[in-house]
Amino acid sequence: MENKPLWTITGVLEWTKQYFANKGIENPRLDAEILLCAVLKCERINLYVRFDQPLEDEELALYRGYVARRANQEPLAYILGEKAFMKHSFKVTPAVLVPRPETELLVESVAKAAAGSGAAALLDIGTGSGAIIVSLLDLLPQALGTAVDISAAALQVAGENAAAIGVAERLTLLESDLFSKLPAGQSFDIIVSNPPYIPAADIAELAADVQKEPHGALDGGTDGLDFYKRIISGCSVWLKPDGLLAFEVGIHQAQEVCALCREAGLTATAVRNDYAAIERMVFATREGTYYANHLLEITS
């Protein structure tokens, strides 16, 4: 009779929870469950229903590989190859930032703004996985999107997400350092961006798994504000006079970003908080526009 220990679902989860906890993983039990579900192709509830089921050797081998990667601080989303955002699951690779829940609030606000104004032309700067623009086009069937990124590998992912979610025919993807490759003469009703905003010196202090994300998507220069300054200065050319600029910002940056917008003539500004009550989004437009008259609604 074979004498090797039988790894049941419960046994494996208990072991992994402890192992992850020792490695400093923030949600050890949850991550263990999510990875095991990926192996067993089931929902988390099934782990509880099938708690005493032993794992097959191939399942264990696959699971061990995932556990080793997570213990090495690889973000869960890279191991799974996907991340839920708004209504869909987005493909993610190490070439793109993992979409964050707070960024859904940015999408929600921009969608509300666009639906109210009838905005047709949207630009997403630094699109990464495409989570923002693809979600917006999904929510706004009349809208047309342009998404730029300096990373060809990111644009590849964004294109796949756009196709999977059925908005590819309304999205133009462009490999471009901010506005540099946009066709002259074009302008946008709404420019949205979640640019890199971490002050360069703070990158080394980020959680170990965040540091595995592309530094080009995180590093916002000395004060973290480099990209806001460059994007705001481009708005005189690329944002329609009655358009809206919508940013995600880093902690403690909202007021400074508002001030930069006002200096550039986008004098009607508003801030929206994230789930942790941190000032996380900045909206800016000229006085008298539809957006200026609806800032409260857009940001709540």
Token pair 């342009």 is at which residue?
A: 146
Name the residue among 91, 36, 30 with its Cα closest to residue 67.
Answer: 36
Is 218 among the residues that bind ligand GLN (CB under 6 A)? yes
Output the CA–CA distances (angstroms, integers) from residue 239 to 7, 141, 234, 258, in the order listed: 59, 21, 8, 16
Establish if 78 lies at the interface with ligand GLN (CB under 6 A). Answer: no
Which is nearer to ligand GLN, 145 or 220 (by Cβ)?
220
The residue among 135 and 194 lying less far from ligand GLN, judged by its C-beta, is: 194
Choose between 79 and 198: whose C-beta lies nearer to ligand GLN. Answer: 198
Residue type, 86: M
Name the residue nearer to ligand GLN (CB basis): 97 or 131: 97
String marking each residue 98-137 x if it binds ligand GLN according to CB under 6 A: --x-------------------------------------
Which structure tokens are listed for 14?
């208990």
Measured CA to CA, the distance from residue 106 to residue 263 in angstroms comes to 23
Beta-bridge partners for 123 = 146, 191
Site string (25-64) toward ligand GLN, x via CB under 6 A: ----------------------------------------
**Calpha distance 255→252 (Å, rounded):** 7
Q: Which residue is nearest to ligand GLN (CB)?
A: 197
Nearer to ligand GLN, 47 or 79 (CB): 79
Smallest gap from Cβ 136 to ligand GLN, in A, equals 17
Q: Report the residue number, 198 or 231, with the smaller CB distance to ligand GLN.
A: 198
Query: How far is the C-alpha of 78 from the C-alpha of 179, rounded, in Å?
Result: 29
Q: How far is the CB of 249 from ligand GLN (least distance, A)?
A: 9
As measured in angstroms, the least distance from the Cβ of 233 to ligand GLN is: 19
Rounded to an integer, what distance in angstroms lies between the CA atom of residue 122 and that of residue 262? 21
Give me the sign of the Cα torsion angle 184, 137, 115, 176.
Answer: negative
CB of 103 to ligand GLN, least distance (A): 7
Of residues 28 and 195, the one with the C-beta less far from ligand GLN: 195
Instruction: Report the Cα 251 to chain-centroid distance in Å.
Output: 16
Binding letters toward ligand GLN, positions 164-203, x by CB under 6 A? ------------------------------xxxxx-----
**Residue 142, φ and ψ in degrees, nearest 5:** -90, -10
Collapsed DSSP state (helix, strand, coil) of residue 202 = helix
* Three-state SS at 281: strand
Binding footprint of ligand GLN, residue count (CB under 6 A): 9
Draw the binding track, 223-242, toward ligand GLN (x: CB under 6 A; -: no contact). Answer: --------------------
Our finding on whether 151 is near ligand GLN (CB under 6 A) is no
Q: Which is nearer to ligand GLN, 92 or 97 (CB)?
A: 97
Contact 67, 21 (CB under 8 A): no
Closest residue by Cα to residue 196 from 154, 248, 158? 248
Q: Does 210 bind ligand GLN (CB under 6 A)?
A: yes
Question: How far is residue 155's CA from residue 79's CA, in Å, rounded to a whole number?
Answer: 20
Footprint of ligand GLN on residues 250-279 (CB under 6 A)? none
Output the six-digit token pair for 25. 């993983």
Task: Name the site residues for ligand GLN (rule: CB under 6 A).
Answer: 97, 100, 194-198, 210, 218
